């Protein structure tokens, strides 16, 4: 029994040993199968971790698991970036590479700049400067680039456009600088002599192209052009223009008057318009003044105007004076006054100091005096007012009665002769009831009931 048990135990130990060896072999085989994977450079280049800012020239093609690799930046970029190999997959640490900033490129006076390359003021970007209107670039280069050391070159310089020297005559006064004028500068001109006139612009300016807006003016003598005179002829030889202080004489065609005018600093002085009528002949009177077609006149001492007043006025019509009244003696009465509702007719010559008139009244009126008499230069009616000399007869009627909503179609008067009639007409939207007329009978209007309903 003991021998049998020993054999069994020995066999069991042997089997245990064989089992351990098998497990070890199986473990080693499994370990070989699950061995960690390496990381490849190409997988980094095709991953989202990669961008063109990295310098990959120093990277190996393969890296073992758990290996950390520092990836440098390209020139002009900065950052601290590491790749970590994790069982064949790349992970990262730190910050990726970014372009180095150059800061603001600098402002140029009288210019603006524009970013034409890049998205910010960083390595590789480019700005171009453009001068303002009226200014030009004097720098050889109009742009700046951002490099590792910063912006290259210097800020460009713009200067105002300069206009060429402008020459003027000695008799022209210049206010401004005609030799070194730049964009926006203005030069003003005037004549040194008051006897000269400026021909050309009184001011010019230097424009954005560096050119003057006009030519320099000249100062020439102020001349008077030949005057255009109505109803007159200028004496002497025909001339188109006259110098300063030169005089002319001209004859009026109709009035036969002679006038003189003078050229003073380009303007005629002393020109008087000629009348289109001959010189007025005024017995016992004289002309006070004539202006164009108007003539003012008055009478000599001891005489007066026929139509009263101190002054008379006549108008030149078709080369004849119209409205020219005679002058009469102071003891003459002159123009006969108007008589209301009648007229006064002369029965003796007007130049007779004892002249008188005959009174004639209109129909339906009768005269209270038969005549007007001239007494010491005044018309006399015996103390009776002129508007009461011709009075209405008793058989006349006054104004017709008013009818509501009606108008009188015949001529309206304040006094109507006997047997006169007036007709009424109703206004719009009203109708006449009864007869539409009234008659004046022996100083009274008929009594009728005229109604507009």
- 385 or 19, greater pLDDT: 385
| In this structure, CATH architecture of domain 39-99 | Ribbon (2.10)
| CATH architecture, domain defined by 111-160 | Ribbon (2.10)
Please report, rounded to a whole number, the percentage of residues in the chain having pLDDT higher than 70: 91
The dihedral built from the CA positions of residue 164, 165, 171 and 176, taken in this order, carries a sign that is: positive
How many angstroms separate the CA atoms of 113 and 130, rounded?
6
For residue range 150-203, what is the model confidence (pLDDT) as tens digits? 999 999 999 999 999 999 999 999 999 998 899 999 999 999 998 898 999 999
| CB atoms near residue 81 (< 10 Å) | 18
375-421 pLDDT, tens digit each: 888 888 888 888 888 888 777 888 899 999 999 988 888 888 888 89
Tell me how far CA of residue 340 lies from CA of 344, 382, 417, in angstroms.
Answer: 10, 16, 16
Q: Look over the chain and give the mean of its residue pLDDT values, rounded to a whole number.
A: 87
In the three-class reduction of DSSP (H, G, I as helix; E, B as strand; rest coil), residue 336 is classed as coil
> In this structure, which topology does domain 406-452 adopt according to CATH?
Complement Module; domain 1 (2.10.70)
Domain borders along the chain are 39-99, 111-160, 172-221, 224-269, 285-329, 342-392, 406-452
**Residue 370, SS3 per DSSP:** coil
Q: What tens digit of pLDDT does each residue of 298-354 get?
A: 999 999 998 878 889 999 888 888 888 889 988 888 888 888 889 988 876 544 556
Mention every residue, 6+ apart, whose C-beta is less than 8 A from residue 149: none
Give tens-digit pLDDT for 56-101: 999 999 999 999 999 999 999 999 999 999 999 999 998 899 999 9
**Could you read off the pLDDT of 25-48 as tens digits, one per residue?**
554 544 444 567 999 999 999 999
Residue 102 CA to residue 111 CA, distance in Å, equals: 20
In angstroms, what CA-CA distances link 381 with 108, 127, 290, 304, 308? 105, 112, 39, 22, 18
| Tokens (6 digits) for 254 | 């109709």
Domains 111-160 and 406-452 share a fold: yes
Q: What is the helix (H) or strand (E) element at residue 12, kind and residue range?
A: helix 2-33
CATH 2.10.70.10 fits 172-221, yes or no: yes
CA torsion sign, 102 to 104 to 108 to 113?
positive
Distance CA 245, CA 242 (A): 9
Whether 96 and 77 have beta carbons less than 8 Å apart is answered as no
């Amino acid at each position: 029994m003991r021998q049998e048990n020993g054999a069994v135990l020995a066999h069991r130990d042997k089997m245990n040993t064989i089992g351990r060896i098998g497990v070890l072999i199986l473990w080693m085989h499994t370990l070989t199968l699950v061995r960690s994977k390496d990381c490849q450079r190409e997988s980094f280049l095709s991953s989202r971790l990669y961008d063109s800012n990295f310098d990959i020239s120093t990277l190996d093609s393969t890296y073992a698991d758990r290996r950390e690799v520092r990836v440098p930046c390209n020139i002009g970029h900065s950052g601290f970036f590491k790749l970590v190999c994790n069982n064949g997959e790349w992970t990262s640490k730190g910050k990726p590479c970014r372009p180095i900033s150059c800061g603001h490129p600098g402002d140029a006076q009288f210019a603006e700049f524009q970013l034409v390359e890049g998205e910010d003021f960083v390595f590789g970007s480019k700005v171009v400067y453009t001068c303002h209107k009226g200014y030009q670039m004097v720098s050889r280069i109009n742009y700046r680039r951002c490099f590792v050391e910063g912006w290259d070159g210097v800020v460009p310089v713009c200067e105002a456009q300069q206009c060429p020297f402008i020459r003027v005559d000695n008799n022209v006064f210049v206010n401004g600088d005609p030799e070194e004028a730049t964009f926006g500068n203005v030069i003003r001109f005037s004549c040194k002599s008051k006897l000269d006139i400026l021909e050309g612009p009184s001011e010019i300016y230097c424009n954005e192209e560096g050119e003057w807006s006009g030519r320099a003016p000249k100062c020439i003598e102020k001349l008077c052009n030949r005057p255009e005179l109505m109803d007159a002829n200028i004496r002497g030889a025909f001339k188109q223009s006259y110098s300063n202080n030169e005089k002319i004489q001209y004859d009026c065609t109709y009035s036969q008057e002679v006038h003189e005018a003078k050229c003073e600093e380009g303007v005629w002085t002393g020109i008087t318009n000629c009348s289109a009528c001959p010189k007025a002949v005024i017995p016992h009177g004289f002309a006070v003044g004539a202006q164009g077609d108007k003539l003012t006149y008055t009478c000599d001492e001891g005489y007066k105007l026929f139509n009263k007043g101190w002054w008379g006025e006549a108008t030149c019509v078709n080369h004849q004076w119209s409205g020219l009244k005679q002058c009469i003696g102071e003891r003459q009465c002159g123009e006969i006054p108007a008589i209301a509702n009648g007229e006064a007719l002369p029965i003796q010559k007007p130049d007779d100091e004892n002249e008188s008139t005959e009174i004639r009244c209109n129909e339906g009126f009768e005269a209270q005096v038969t005549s007007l008499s001239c007494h010491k230069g005044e018309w006399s009616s015996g103390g009776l007012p002129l508007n009461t000399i011709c009075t209405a007869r008793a058989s006349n009627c006054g104004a017709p009665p008013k009818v509501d909503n009606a108008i009188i179609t015949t001529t309206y008067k304040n006094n109507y002769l006997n047997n006169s009639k007036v007709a009424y007409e109703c206004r719009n939207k009203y109708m006449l009831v009864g007869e539409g007329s009234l008659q004046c009978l022996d100083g009274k209007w008929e009594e009728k009931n005229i109604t507009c309903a």
